[in-house]
A and B are shown apart, each in its own frame.
Chain A
């Protein structure tokens, strides 16, 4: 079973990734794949999960569920999982998924493997690979309880429209007391136009080599043209140049974009741990001995203040923007 996250009645990309990854597991083990979606009037979007492999989608609807509630959502998912006798429950390791999965695991008396980057069957047992120490090491884990809860790191599993069918949509029956709604999101604020590093396909990150917060406009411009998120090293976040939520590294976010461009970042161990699983890494740094070059697929040893404006211009020409 899969929990498919939606916000404002649109599925998140990670919802499709989780359904698709679960579909692979279900096919290999000959199991049925059921998805759960929670919200207000979410039936309308539910059938689209069929394209990614869900045969049934159970929609739990209530006007109160338009906003996220940890307690209510955890209850609904657990109830449906028990009713459906789900053996494996997968969620995205998103802000919502990571908030929900541990509570659901306790309700189901299930072991939890968080933020997994690979799944496979071995002698009909599910083996999950997950990074630890922000990616400095990987562990393969086996969940030994009968029911298992797994969260999948966003941006790692591909969302394949394999089956191209429509899923059958059912309405979940559930009753929740007022107490279940007692923990409730009252307001969501999205920074307009900003992409979060945890979800971004391309990240342009800046470090101390940029010399001051005002120079991050170079990074923002390049990120803007690429449709990328802006990231930052711990040094510049600690110095107050950039907000905490842009920090990449062991005490920030661990990211796996297709392309990571590190500008003026020398590459402290804790930063490298957080971005080393990026598919392609570009480093631009004055110091040819900077550790970041050890990881970079492509590097330019030179002055970021000269290079980045040209980079932005070249990309703009390429993309016709």
Chain B
């Protein structure tokens, strides 16, 4: 089975976002970058699929040299090959998807795995876009995946429940928490990853359809009132919620 996993390199969840001097992006000073947490699930699923069905797992990332750190992590987890589509230009979802799809269509993948969204731009758009560009099905927010021959059964999370989706290979899957427990790279894996090559390729040029005009911090909420220190404060809390906030 030819398995591809698309991974992104993003500020970790502890990051306090500061707007950069261009007023449109995040100031990277002091920011710790990691593999996108949802993409770790995709890598793990790729490795498990290889275990069951054989084949090869290739990790792909689009971005600058810094993305090599995330690709190294995927190698340490156990992927066979890593490819960097080296790019320095800011791209919108459409343009990221175009570059990935242009690369992938030459590879005839049977399954392409993504995280359900990147925790920086939060669009949750690239995976279905790539599928559409490749002309293959996609299932998003997947918490359970079974592949039997070319038949694919995936469970996706919806509001207050799940949908069981049937489709077939080749397919794009976007992974949600619950799909698996991503492994920690072993020391041996980490050592081996250091000497594995990362192939560098030129992605197709960016052509964005969405322009960021301005980035700003949301209006800071001021701390409210502390009503009390024990259960005797509850009647006042309920009164405030009912009469002042009018939310209950």
Contacts and interface: CB of A to CB of B under 8 A. Distances in A.
A226 B164 CA distance: 31
Interface stretch (B59-67, B183-191, B213-221): B213-221
Interface stretch (B11-19, B71-79, B81-89, B194-202): B11-19
A196 B157 CA distance: 11
A243 B160 CA distance: 12
A182 B138 CA distance: 11
A102 B228 contact: no
Contacts of B214: 139-140
Interface string A242-277: 011101011110100011000000001110000011
A71 interface: yes
Interface stretch (B46-54, B102-110, B129-137): B129-137
Contact of B237 (A138, A141, A143, A298): A298
A13 to B, nearest CB: 10
A10 interface: no
Nearest to A272: B221
Contacts of B93: 102, 112, 114
B143 interface: yes
A269 B227 CA distance: 24
A135 interface: yes
Contact of B157 (A95, A183, A309): A95
A309 B171 CA distance: 49
By CB atoms of chain A within 10 A, which of B15, B17, B129, B210 has the most?
A: B210
Given A133-B119, A269-B14, A244 B178 contact: yes
Contacts of B166: 183-184, 186
A156 B237 CA distance: 25
Given A137-B26, A142-B213, A183-B137, A251 B177 contact: yes
A270 B13 contact: yes
A101 B125 contact: yes
A17 interface: no
B126 interface: yes
B111 interface: no
Given A133-B120, A183-B165, A259-B241, 17 more contacts: A95-B156, A99-B140, A99-B156, A102-B125, A102-B132, A106-B133, A133-B15, A134-B122, A142-B213, A144-B210, A199-B159, A245-B157, A259-B248, A296-B223, A297-B221, A298-B224, A301-B229
Interface of A: 68, 70-71, 74, 94-96, 98-103, 105-107, 110-115, 127, 130-145, 182-191, 194-196, 198-199, 202, 226, 237, 243-245, 247, 249-252, 254, 258-259, 268-270, 276-277, 279-282, 288, 293-303, 306-307, 309-311, 314-315, 318-319
19 contacts: A100-B128, A102-B93, A102-B123, A103-B129, A103-B132, A106-B97, A113-B210, A115-B124, A136-B217, A139-B216, A183-B138, A188-B162, A190-B160, A191-B160, A259-B241, A259-B247, A281-B224, A311-B237, A315-B248
Top-3 shortest CB links A-B: A111-B209, A270-B13, A297-B224
